[in-house]
């Protein structure tokens, strides 16, 4: 099968996930640049991560850095276990 890609039949489910606002903005913008859905982008990222591989080329990482600046995303991998939500009700008052 040289030059051909194989297609795999899968079952997708709709899910409601909560995600940091600026992170979602960067993901949406990156998905738009790649002309794919956010769901497809997340699937690719996770499948690569599960194998200990980077999901992005050097050029895509450069674009992600730009998008993070645009959307004010300063979080990094080291922050992942430190995130705490603000109390939305208290914030609204």
User: How many domains in the chain?
Assistant: 1
Question: What's residue 2's pLDDT?
Answer: 60
Using DSSP's 3-state secondary structure scheme, residue 76 falls into coil
Taking only the tens place, the pLDDT of each residue in 11-27 is 999 999 999 999 999 99
Q: Is residue 52 part of a domain?
A: yes
Q: Is residue 93 part of a domain?
A: no
Taking only the tens place, the pLDDT of each residue in 41-84 is 999 999 999 999 999 999 999 999 999 999 999 999 999 999 99
Distance CA 37, CA 32 (A): 7
Give the residue carrying structure tokens 């990094």: 76
The domain in which residue 64 lies consists of 21-72
Q: Is residue 90 part of a domain?
A: no
Q: Is residue 5 part of a domain?
A: no
Q: Is residue 87 part of a domain?
A: no
Tell which residue, 13, 38, 12, 35, has the closest CA to residue 24. Answer: 38
Query: What size, in residues, is the chain?
Result: 93
């Amino acid at each position: 099968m040289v030059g051909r890609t194989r297609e795999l039949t899968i079952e997708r489910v709709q899910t409601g996930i909560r995600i940091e606002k600026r992170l979602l903005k960067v993901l949406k913008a990156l998905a738009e640049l790649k002309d794919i859905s956010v769901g497809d982008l997340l699937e690719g990222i996770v499948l690569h991560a599960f194998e200990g591989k980077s999901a992005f080329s050097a050029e895509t990482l450069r674009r992600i850095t730009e998008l993070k600046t645009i959307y004010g995303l300063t979080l990094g991998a080291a922050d992942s276990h430190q995130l705490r939500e603000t109390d939305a009700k208290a914030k609204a008052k």
